[in-house]
Chain A
């Protein structure tokens, strides 16, 4: 942590880009798939970026719910920040089959298990 009391203000754009809100999420299983549900109010499908790099799943969800400039805020509680969630996966997933949808402010990511880790029945001759 910086020990200086004052610091030059970073430029607006850099400041906004480097601050994220960590969304709440839930993991559930659906057959051979995992479903990660991320709570991202204010985000539409255009604002979502999902990347899988090695074992790290990164979700960036940008709020698209900016209010018109003519609105004057009398009281604010909703955060303005975009969301970022990074998860270390314990299970190999089929990267090319990952799918996601956004509905009513919930982002649902479906992560199918990789074929090589699915349980396999072995026939006995």
Chain B
């Protein structure tokens, strides 16, 4: 017995924005999907880059993974996040979910003080700017 009756593409509630994102996300999925690369399954991982006075911040959308399955690496100003896990919800049992995303971050990051936090499917990596990089008030003598 099927739970969902039908998907009506032109219900008024599915406005243009919904449809746009449906299409966009479907294409992202295809582009990132493992078939071309021989992987079992993978996901497109969007990322945001922010800065404030003291830090750079990179946020990744990684829904449905456990903290322990996330690896974060910073090398030569490239921040790479990868996820590798067994997908428990898959009925075949053996499918693996993979996601890898690299983001170039600006130079001048204090690599020893990088921190990451995962909440509600969003991974936020905080990259402190090194002292030399921070804006400094210079006294005029």
> Chain A residues in contact with chain B, CB under 8 A?
18-22, 24, 26-29, 34, 36-37, 39-44, 55, 64-65, 67-68, 70-79, 81, 84, 86-91, 102, 104-106, 111
Contacts and interface: CB of A to CB of B under 8 A. Distances in A.
Contact of B121 (A84, A105, A111): A105
For the complex, would chain B's binding face be called helix, strand, loop or mixed by DSSP majority?
A: loop
A86 B13 CA distance: 8
A87 B4 contact: yes
Contacts of A76: 48-49
A102 B120 contact: yes
Contacts of A28: 89, 91
A105 B4 contact: no
Contacts of B4: 27, 87-90
Interface string B82-93: 000000010100
A71 B18 contact: no
A42 B120 contact: yes
